Amino acid sequence: MSVRHLLDTKIVRNNLILFEFKEQAKDRRLVKRHIIEALMKKYGYSRSYIEQIVYDSKITHRPCTSCGENTNISQWKRNQGVCTKCLNKQQKQDNDDK
């Protein structure tokens, strides 16, 4: 069995990113934005991904493209960016037009 099967590489990598951020953040001369940019370059990930690891935040809601109301991510993806209320309105209008 390989080491890859013994360790979850994603968890290990995320812990390394978090550790490096905390260590560099101890040095008050460094700006957190610059630390995140350095980690982006080092690991090849986007700013939002690094920030999710560092700040332990996950995007759980997105605004509806029609009305602006927050809707959960799975619903937003399933309905192509529209909340359920707006989707129902659109379907009702489509049925009325027929």
Domain co-membership, 19 together with 50:
yes
pLDDT in tens, 67-93: 888 888 788 888 888 888 888 888 888
Average pLDDT across the chain, whole number: 83
Residue 62: its H or E element: strand 61-63
pLDDT at residue 35, as a whole number: 92
Give the CA radius of gyration of the chain: 21
Domain co-membership, 67 together with 49:
no
- Percent of the chain clearing pLDDT 90 (strictly above): 18
Q: 61-63 and 70-72: which strand pairing?
A: antiparallel
Q: What residues make up the domain containing 32?
A: 3-55
Domain co-membership, 49 together with 81:
no
Domain co-membership, 50 together with 65:
no
What is the pLDDT averaged over residues 3-22?
79
